[in-house]
Amino acid sequence: MQLVSIKSQFINWWQRLKESWEPYLEEMRIIKEHQPASQEIINAAQREWQAAQNYFNNVTEPELVDHASYLLQAAERKYMYLLKKYRGNEGGS
């Protein structure tokens, strides 16, 4: 008799837990659906790197050379990091 009562209490507790977490889980599903795919992020980083290379190659003002160099290095590191991370996740999946 007591085992049935414990089981019933557990089932009730589990239902309340699921109901209380449902809005949070639904929000997480919505957020995940709206996140761009990894390949899209990598492609955007590559375009950013190419734009930084173009900017660096075409800068004419001496005051902007350091800025162009910084942008180029930052964009390259971002792209390499994302590519490495993507390849690491792809191999682990």
Does residue 91 carry a pLDDT above 60?
Answer: no
**How far is residue 54's CA from residue 48's CA, in Å, rounded to a whole number?**
10
**How far is residue 33's CA from residue 31's CA, in Å, rounded to a whole number?**
5
Q: What percent of the chain has pLDDT over 90?
A: 42
For 2, the 3-state DSSP assignment is helix
Residues 40 and 29 in one domain: no
Residues 84 and 58 in one domain: yes
Residues 14 and 48 in one domain: no
Query: Given pLDDT bands bounded at 50, 70 and 90, which one contains residue 93?
Result: very low
Residues 42 and 72 in one domain: yes
Residues 16 and 48 in one domain: no
> How close are the terminal C-alpha atoms of the chain, in Å?
47
Q: Specify the pLDDT at position 20.
A: 82
Residues 76 and 40 in one domain: yes
Residues 14 and 30 in one domain: yes
- Please tell me whether the overall predicted TM-score, pTM, comes out greater than 0.85 for this model: no
Classify residue 36 by its DSSP letter: P
Residues 43 and 82 in one domain: yes
**How far is residue 37's CA from residue 40's CA, in Å, rounded to a whole number?**
5
Q: How confident is the model over 30-65, as pLDDT tens digits?
A: 656 666 678 888 999 999 999 999 999 999 998 899
Its domain, for residue 46, covers 36-93
